[in-house]
Structure 1
Amino acid sequence: MAEAGEAVTLRGELSGLFRSALSSAFPAAEEQPIIASCNNPQFGDYQCNNAMGLFGKLKGKEGAPKNPREVATAIVSGLPDNSTIADTSLAGPGFINCKVSSDYLAARINALMQQGVSTLAPPLRYKRVVVDFSSPNVAKEMHVGHLRSTIIGDTIANTLEFCGADVVRLNHIGDWGTQFGMLIEHMAELRPGGLAESRDEDVADLQQLYRAAKKRFDDEADFKSGDEECIAAWQRICDASRREFEAIYSRLGVTLQERGESFYNPMLKDVVEELREKGVAEVSDGATCVFVEGCEVPLIVQKSDGGYGYASTDMAAIKQRVTQEKADWVIYVTDIGQAPHFDMVFAAARRAGWLPEKGSAQPPRVSHVGFGLVLGEDGKKFKTRSGDVVRLVELLDEAKARCKDSVKQRREESGDPVDEAELEAAAKAMGYGAVKYADLKNSRLTNYKFSFDAMLELKGTPHRRHQFVLEHARERELAMAIVQFPEAVEDMLEELTPNRLTDYLYGLSETFSSFYTDCKVLGGEQEDSRLILVEATARIMRQCFKLLGITPLYRI
């Protein structure tokens, strides 16, 4: 993921040292270092795991080592002089354990304090990145299912920006299609003033109208619309939805640039013609299709009646993003069920020459970030008692209300004064932050059970607990955890999995808790150096919260 900045991470520095060692000990092997954290810190901090694989490659050749441990010994002998590794040891058949120098850790902490957290950001080879996320549908209220796309996409965008990328945050809203024609037709017939009746639309009303219109569309063959005269009504519908979306995004602290399906309408005809001319698309049963090897159904880029669907829009969008936006990387954040669709879109774009061949290291790169469902505590799809999908605004209201009650109770029990403005701010930060963390801490690839009680439980939640020499073992553990922050960022962007950041944040808070329990900070001989560790931890935690889109809470 990093371009030339491996040395930003400790793991990268070790990779560089062992690359030199491998080149020195076995120059003909052209072996890349395999560096991982040690499972047991008792044996070391990191491990080089090349010996066994390299032994297999060299076996049978003249002068080859007799066993993997000989390979490991030769690698260690080839390490250049450095101030990073304090000690090495061999384990098992040839694992090389490394203990990082305490002086090195102290120097990294000092650099963090003097230069700031931003200097720890791993550089990217991708300079301009489009992140397509959230993507609700016009005329429908945002529900809990939109939460995952919104906050996963926001975290990815935040992290890319932290690493220096120019990020275009796109909200590919569903604002065009047959459904709007049927909704507008139903509105025209239902209201006394027809479409000429001027009013500010309400999304809740529109959703009820949409359901009624959908039923009529399914039941009545002559119920069709789509006339150009309906554009004004369509615009009112979009404006109403836009107001609701923006209210939700404001509460979540998420910024997006709206670019709905309608934006690509003028491009659809030319895109389909280009696909035909290049032999990527062909006519089948009257429809224009792209057949992708290994896929049972084709990608339909133009229907048999001449109309266009979301596949047409997605093809136009990917072309526009790589040719006009000049994106080096395009990331789509949707539910995992759409993965087969995007596989076909990406394959068609490669055949059209808009993307490099699959597996190529050359930009532009495309990634689909799929995620699982939000389930209720019963393991079924998260719904209200009446069986409706949970509205996102209701989820946020409930989280805020519960946190407000919790904070108020704690302050009353402790005898602290209750300031309503401060209480409101704390409830928002705690409630919305808890909703985000409860989601992001899970692997995005799996479904997860949502529980208000578990979400608001204070125990085990890092959001709510919160001349330099490393002498105590706990000091060293904490310094190591702080220095490993860039690796968490690097891993998150490599896999596009926000839980890499939440796992790191949780581990850092646990390590800090152990340090704070075992090491006296104020009033001891090591007060100055330990205060530096405390401040360094706080800076890293604040940066983690910023990447996750969570407002830190300094007092409960």
Structure 2
Amino acid sequence: MTSINEQLTKKFQEALVTSFGEDFQAIDPQVTTARDLRHGDYQANIALPLAKKLGKNPREIAQTIISNLAVDTICETPTIGGPGFINLKLKPNYLENKLKSLYQEQGLGIEKIPDSTQVIVDFSSPNIAKEMHVGHLRSTIIGDCIARTLEFLGYDVLRLNHVGDWGTQFGMLITYLKEVYPDALTQADALEIGDLVNFYKQAKKRFDEDTEFQQRAREAVVKLQSGEQESSQAWELLCDQSRREFQQIYDRLDVKLTERGESFYNPYLDDVITALDAEGILKKDQGAQCVFLEGFTNKSGDPLPLIVQKSDGGYNYATTDLAALRYRIKEDQAKRIIYVTDAGQSNHFAQVFQVANKANFLPDTVEVTHVPFGLVKGEDGKKLKTRSGETIKLKDLLNEAINYARKDLENRLQSEERKESEDFINNVAQTVGISAVKYADLSQNRSSDYIFSYDKMLALQGNTAPYMLYAYARIQSISREGNIDYENLGENIQIILKEDTEMELGKYLLQLSETIKEVEKTLLPNRLCDYLYELSKKFNRFYENCPVLKSEEPTKTSRLLLCDLTAKTLKLGLSLLGISVLERM
């Protein structure tokens, strides 16, 4: 189903051509939902930017556009506000028919893309031999939301987990374990992940302090890179141990990923250097192979080089990312590649993309985007850490959220004198706890830092997951109470919008398509969160002002349809955020 915004945009484009000629066909008429509903439901701001081009008063331009604007089946007569805004108010019967069509369509009337374009979303990306922490939470759930949204719209999405499974850290770890715990290098499950992390810390300390150990660790890296059997077997065991631990987290978060770590691209690194050299952009600087960048300078103001091969012949992250980019374009046939990492890597990706463009690795048909995100902070405004100063483990954070949700539920059950089974309590606590953590993160503008608070994220009021889940559960309780079978409400269903709150709810339900397309374009999950929060508020106002089960027909059926449409919209929207709904709370 074509969205209202798309319909109005097309009508305005036709009016621009009629008013001012074919040259105006490609101009964006700037149709948006109105900020102030007193002036209408939509507005077009095109008259203001056209004033200079046409040499006329914006209000005069707006009037000319209106005189050629064929929207009488959709809107009341358009009006002009302020310096030249064109305000549009939707007709009730248009809304009623649109909502009826929406209710009868699969997928809530959201149009899918015509062909399954290949998109890669690179996210999560923890390091082997380390535990996942709160920083990985942001990348994992933001990336998952973007992937879910694009998949829903019909894109063929490859979800890649670019884990850190290669490099010097393995030389350190293998060398250290040979000394203190050799069984870990030959026996599966000889170590818990916590032990592995502690051994890694001790290995790093030795590496920084002991030059002889450092040399042996570097030799171990060479053996590993050359495919020496004993080193390769040890590496596989260490990776498998971490992998199993990561999978437990992914299962709890309901996140699907295909692992393709740094090691996957090791065979393609030499080819990157060869290709850069063939393009004539490779320069030697202090023994290292580099590409000099535009717009990046050092402290002295000299052009900054991106090192792609170190003076000792080794490669780095930039080389791996260039190899990965080439593979994803050539082998995976990706047309859009999205990298979800912390904002601290913004310069790195800007440099890698610039080199890729210089080397002609990036065709015009491929779009690459870095999706940066800010820090998670504690309530003191500082980086979220444990009391001892350690980074908080993601596993512990999720456990704590579930415990908080469980205590809150048990307190409510006690105050309401409700009896529920242990299975019910466990399921609600698990769903609410995980959902609250996800939503608290996704509802922020991802580029900003945000303050982490269990109390705020688990509140039943405000912009939280429990508020949304409660709105959904409330609708399900209406159908249970009235013993409603939505499949058999009759063929000649009708939606009637009489009260202000049902009109507001109806209009807002029709904006889901525009919201999802906005997320597709901007890769900002908080736009969807804002929509769902506002929808929940509008539903609750409707529920308070408009009796449903006690209404007479045909009003009763109409309001039931609005309830069901709201529930379906909440369920779909929350699913794109990676959040499951609850029939009862």
TM-score bracket, normalised by the shorter chain, equals over 0.9
Asked if structure 1 preserves the Cα contact closer than 8 Å seen for 2:116 and 2:154, the reply is no
1:318 is matched with which residue? 325
1:438 and 2:440 aligned: yes
Select 2:33's aligned residue among 20, 24, 37.
37
The amino acid of 1:527's aligned partner reads K
Deviations along 1:99-156, whole A, 9 cap, x unmatched? Answer: 1122222222212221122531453787110000000000000011110000000000
1:3 is matched with which residue? none
Asked if structure 2 preserves the Cα contact closer than 8 Å seen for 1:200 and 1:240, the reply is no
Asked if structure 1 preserves the Cα contact closer than 8 Å seen for 2:186 and 2:237, the reply is no
1:181 and 2:171 aligned: yes
- 1:103–1:215 Cα change, 3 Å: same
| In structure 2, C-alpha distance between the alignment counterparts of 1:503 and 1:253, rounded to whole Å | 22
- 1:192–1:438 Cα change, 3 Å: closer
Asked if structure 2 preserves the Cα contact closer than 8 Å seen for 1:117 and 1:539, the reply is no
1:62 is matched with which residue? none
| In structure 2, C-alpha distance between the alignment counterparts of 1:516 and 1:194, rounded to whole Å | 61
Q: CA deviation at 1:495?
A: 1.2
1:213 is matched with which residue? 203
The amino acid of 2:574's aligned partner reads F
| In structure 1, C-alpha distance between the alignment counterparts of 2:568 and 2:51, rounded to whole Å | 44
1:165 and 2:155 aligned: yes
Asked if structure 2 preserves the Cα contact closer than 8 Å seen for 1:545 and 1:552, the reply is yes
2:340 is matched with which residue? 333
| In structure 1, C-alpha distance between the alignment counterparts of 2:77 and 2:468, rounded to whole Å | 36
| In structure 2, C-alpha distance between the alignment counterparts of 1:428 and 1:295, rounded to whole Å | 47
Please show how residues 270-281 of structure 1 align to structure 2 within 5 Å: 270-281=271-282
Deviations along 1:443-490, whole A, 9 cap, x unmatched? Answer: 100100101111111112332330222111111111111000111111
Select 1:8's aligned residue among 2, 13, 26.
2
- 1:18–1:402 Cα change, 3 Å: same
| In structure 2, C-alpha distance between the alignment counterparts of 1:53 and 1:409, rounded to whole Å | 57
Q: CA deviation at 1:198?
A: 5.9
Secondary structure, counterpart of 1:44 in structure 2: coil
Aligned residues between the structures: 539
Deviations along 1:365-397, whole A, 9 cap, x unmatched? Answer: 010000000000000010111111100000000
Secondary structure, counterpart of 1:468 in structure 2: coil
| In structure 2, C-alpha distance between the alignment counterparts of 1:77 and 1:54, rounded to whole Å | 16
Larger mean CA deviation between 282-291 and 12-21 belongs to 282-291
Asked if structure 2 preserves the Cα contact closer than 8 Å seen for 1:72 and 1:96, the reply is yes
Asked if structure 1 preserves the Cα contact closer than 8 Å seen for 2:379 and 2:453, the reply is yes
1:391 is matched with which residue? 393
1:485 is matched with which residue? 512
1:376 and 2:370 aligned: no
Asked if structure 2 preserves the Cα contact closer than 8 Å seen for 1:336 and 1:370, the reply is yes
Asked if structure 2 preserves the Cα contact closer than 8 Å seen for 1:9 and 1:122, the reply is no
- 1:480–1:334 Cα change, 3 Å: same
1:249 is matched with which residue? 250
2:558 is matched with which residue? 529
Q: CA deviation at 1:285?
A: 1.4
Secondary structure, counterpart of 2:344 in structure 1: helix
Secondary structure, counterpart of 1:465 in structure 2: helix
1:414 is matched with which residue? 416
1:84 and 2:74 aligned: yes
The amino acid of 1:263's aligned partner reads F
2:578 is matched with which residue? 549
Deviations along 1:214-250, whole A, 9 cap, x unmatched? Answer: 1111112222222223111111110010001000000
Asked if structure 2 preserves the Cα contact closer than 8 Å seen for 1:124 and 1:163, the reply is no
- 1:538–1:198 Cα change, 3 Å: closer
The amino acid of 2:89's aligned partner reads K
Secondary structure, counterpart of 1:86 in structure 2: coil
Larger mean CA deviation between 18-27 and 33-42 belongs to 33-42
The amino acid of 1:428's aligned partner reads Q
Secondary structure, counterpart of 2:280 in structure 1: coil
Larger mean CA deviation between 291-300 and 81-90 belongs to 81-90
Larger mean CA deviation between 423-432 and 518-527 belongs to 518-527
1:465 and 2:461 aligned: no
- 1:303–1:240 Cα change, 3 Å: same
| In structure 1, C-alpha distance between the alignment counterparts of 2:538 and 2:114, rounded to whole Å | 29
| In structure 2, C-alpha distance between the alignment counterparts of 1:13 and 1:194, rounded to whole Å | 64
Q: What TM-score do the two structures reach when normalised by structure 2?
A: 0.90
| In structure 1, C-alpha distance between the alignment counterparts of 2:397 and 2:574, rounded to whole Å | 21
1:515 and 2:516 aligned: no
Please show how residues 226-305 of structure 1 align to structure 2 within 5 Å: 226=221, 227=223, 228=228, 229-296=230-297, 297-305=304-312
Secondary structure, counterpart of 2:164 in structure 1: coil
- 1:194–1:504 Cα change, 3 Å: closer
| In structure 2, C-alpha distance between the alignment counterparts of 1:447 and 1:15, rounded to whole Å | 35
| In structure 1, C-alpha distance between the alignment counterparts of 2:3 and 2:393, rounded to whole Å | 42
| In structure 1, C-alpha distance between the alignment counterparts of 2:415 and 2:92, rounded to whole Å | 44
Query: Which residues of structure 1 form unaligned runs of 5+?
Result: 1-6, 60-64, 357-361
Asked if structure 2 preserves the Cα contact closer than 8 Å seen for 1:488 and 1:500, the reply is yes
Secondary structure, counterpart of 1:8 in structure 2: coil
Q: CA deviation at 1:193?
A: 5.4
Q: CA deviation at 1:77?
A: 0.8
- 1:81–1:99 Cα change, 3 Å: closer
Q: CA deviation at 1:87?
A: 2.7
Larger mean CA deviation between 536-545 and 523-532 belongs to 523-532
2:354 is matched with which residue? 347
| In structure 2, C-alpha distance between the alignment counterparts of 1:272 and 1:124, rounded to whole Å | 38
- 1:405–1:124 Cα change, 3 Å: farther
Select 2:124's aligned residue among 113, 124, 134.
134
| In structure 2, C-alpha distance between the alignment counterparts of 1:102 and 1:402, rounded to whole Å | 45
Secondary structure, counterpart of 2:307 in structure 1: strand
Root-mean-square deviation (CA, aligned residues, Å) is 1.6
Query: Which residues of structure 2 form unaligned runs of 5+?
Result: 298-303, 472-493
Asked if structure 2 preserves the Cα contact closer than 8 Å seen for 1:122 and 1:486, the reply is no
The amino acid of 2:529's aligned partner reads T
Asked if structure 2 preserves the Cα contact closer than 8 Å seen for 1:35 and 1:48, the reply is yes
| In structure 2, C-alpha distance between the alignment counterparts of 1:199 and 1:371, rounded to whole Å | 35
Asked if structure 1 preserves the Cα contact closer than 8 Å seen for 2:184 and 2:191, the reply is no
Q: CA deviation at 1:50?
A: 1.1
Secondary structure, counterpart of 1:332 in structure 2: strand
Deviations along 1:60-103, whole A, 9 cap, x unmatched? Answer: xxxxx4x2211111100111255222331111121110011222
